[in-house]
Amino acid sequence: MMAAVAAIVLGTLAVSYFTGPNAEADSTYNDNHGKVKNVIFLIPDGFSASYGTNYRWFKGKKSKMDEILVGMHRTYSADTKVTDSAAAGTAMATGVKTNNGMISMSPDGKKLKSILETVEEKGKATGLIATTTITYATPAVFASHVASRTNEALIAPQLLENGVDVLLGGGKKYFPAQLITKAKKGGYHYISSRDELLKGAAKSNKLLGLFADDALAPSLDRAETNQPTLAEMTETAINILQKNKEGFFLMVEGSQIDWAGHDNDAAWAMNDVAAFEEALVKALSFAKKDRHTLVVVAGDHDTGGMSVGGYDLYEANVEILRNVTATGDYMVTKLNARRSNVKAVVKKYTGLDLTDDEVGKVRAASKPDMAINKIVSERARIGWTSKVHTGVDIPLYAYGPGSDLFRGLHENTDLPVLMAKATKIKFDGK
């Protein structure tokens, strides 16, 4: 009898945990039995539970992700326990695991159909957004097929040939003039600045927005540019795609959470998570009004092996990152040739007073940005185990009709299959 009661209690707790704290309060909106017409898939690249925990302390309260937690997913690729973004993205787009470095191709070189390509065949509108180049690994896997992720020049024309209605991000250097001319003839409205995005771009039916030759600036440094925020791109894309009566599929990547992890730059990471959350708010706001939109959030892997606390101390001081106003990369550009102004530069952009020992480490470092990032992370008591990816399981979030399908522990290959199931579209990724 006691065992049965315990099982019931544990089961209730598990359901409560994986449906999120606001599941009951939002039941009229988060209706799992409604018809799914649209899917918005948001990918915070490099984001894991540790990023989520540190972000909660950084923000000072629960995040929008916390409210819609439903499960976890496994990230390993076909050839290794630690995936890269190409293999992880391929799994999340096609439902098939492949080798690291491959873009929607099977390990034996066969093209794999993506969930985006499948819904396009059903007449739905589609969109891809990234803060890296739009030809980078994660956006690429949804609408291109190449053996190596490095071949971005081959990926660019495929994105257009596959008919993706909205493409927003960086990577102008991969779209030569003749390709942009071809896009315009194919019905795309082409823009290259934030001003153009905000002044009527949503009136278009097809939109190609390339806001930098390479990747966009990190969110911490973007105020110095005329580049849009992830939230602005997301809102514009939704406004365009919702015109399609058959519905739409939109992938939104918070790309540079991953890049911050590679640099072990805790402030960059937290600020790009904040920018990602703002984009999620736009998606949830639309879904709440629309009532036929499934929102799914899943990082593709962990980057950097971030910890909450560290350095043999029982404490975390994440709050100090709120005072950091630039990335380590940017701070280095303000150092003079002899790096004699290290203390002043770091003070200006972080509010921290460096010790003489810390100043010496930055001045002597072969990579002064990494040295600065290490100091800031140590002051915040955020540890790092790697400068590349790790293989831990990743939180899975979902909201709206069909969100119950994502409860529990999944393979990353399950995600597009479940999205298709929610929209009642046949899809097996092969």
Look at the chain and count its residues: 430
Residue 72 backbone class (left: φ over 0; alpha: ψ -120 to 50; beta: rest): beta
Q: Count H helices, E strands: the chain? A: 16, 12
User: For residue 327, is pLDDT > 60?
Assistant: yes
| Per-residue pLDDT, 31 | 64
CA distance 428 to 406: 17
User: For residue 21, is pLDDT > 80?
Assistant: no
CATH class of 2-306+390-422: alpha beta
Mean pLDDT over 68-84 rounds to 98
User: For residue 5, is pLDDT > 60?
Assistant: no
Domain boundaries, the chain: 2-306+390-422, 318-380
269-321 residue pLDDT tens: 999 999 999 999 999 999 999 999 999 999 999 999 999 999 999 999 999 99
Contact call for residues 70 and 285 (beta carbons, < 8 A)? no
> What integer best gives the mean pLDDT of the chain?
93
Label residue 429 by pLDDT band (50, 70, 90).
Answer: low
Is 258 annotated among the ligand-binding residues? yes
Is 263 annotated among the ligand-binding residues? no
Residue 293 backbone class (left: φ over 0; alpha: ψ -120 to 50; beta: rest): beta
Is 262 annotated among the ligand-binding residues? yes
CA distance 130 to 138: 8
User: For residue 365, is pLDDT > 60?
Assistant: yes
Label residue 60 by pLDDT band (50, 70, 90).
Answer: very high
Mean pLDDT over 385-410 rounds to 98
Is 410 annotated among the ligand-binding residues? no
Q: What is the pTM of this model?
A: 0.93
Q: Is 138 helix (H, G, I), strand (E, B) or coil?
A: helix
| Per-residue pLDDT, 105 | 98
List residues with catalytic annotation: 85
Is 389 annotated among the ligand-binding residues? yes
